[in-house]
Homo-oligomer: A and B are copies of this chain.
Amino acid sequence: AAQLPVLPWSEVTFLAPVTWPDKVVCVGMNYVDHCKEQNVPVPKEPIIFSKFASSIVGPYDEVVLPPQSQEVDWEVELAVVIGKKGKHIKATDAMAHVAGFTVAHDVSARDWLTRRNGKQWLLGKTFDTFCPLGPALVTKDSVADPHNLKICCRVNGEVVQSSNTNQMVFKTEDLIAWVSQFVTFYPGDVILTGTPPGVGVFRKPPVFLKKGDEVQCEIEELGVIINKVV
């Protein structure tokens, strides 16, 4: 068989595995241990918000600190990519609508989330470059159990978040069933399934990202995305 062509890494730019989806659906407070960290009860229903697709960047792209925020924070998340259109999907059928999984960094401007924009979270979540995705779309057949994966975030090499997707309150199937009561899912739609504890805003004192920081978001079996803050 012919040898496949090999390109030097330096000549390649990795894009996000999904660009321009119809929807980037996000879930708030979806890790039991992240709820404890905030001293809030575990939600009885998923809390759904969104980012615009225009915030998506590649796995090794830069995250641009906007001058309007002094409180930009990290959040590693398991992202689910939809592969098949559906509405009113039952939890038992939900995995048939999943193409695969990837790593997301749900970059968050805390000042805009909690104190501005009438407390609607959208603006603080959707600055350009605030949604690095990658490094690959790992198809679901290649993932033994998406709800038993180590998930961690490192800032400048120091582990700041370290947990397991088994801490998710609402699992992939529940989230697809819930959201598809409201909206039709289309192939390419992305669901960011929430972040484990260890975010900067709840540290004492709070810690936020600054220019020059390097953030690594890693999930077992899915890989690592590395985004420099500029």
Contacts and interface: CB of A to CB of B under 8 A. Distances in A.
A120 B118 contact: no
B183 A128 contact: yes
A49 B49 CA distance: 10
Given A47-B117, A118-B47, A52 B183 contact: yes
B117 A120 contact: no
A120 B28 contact: yes
A29 B117 CA distance: 11
Given A23-B54, A87-B128, A118 B43 contact: yes
A167 interface: no
Interface residues of A, number: 34
Contact of A128 (B122, B128, B182): B182
Q: Dominant SS at the A interface? A: loop
Contacts of A119: 119
A14 interface: no
Contacts of A118: 28-29, 43, 47
Nearest to A118: B47
A23 B128 CA distance: 13
B183 A22 contact: no
A172 interface: no
A127 B88 CA distance: 12
A87 B53 CA distance: 15
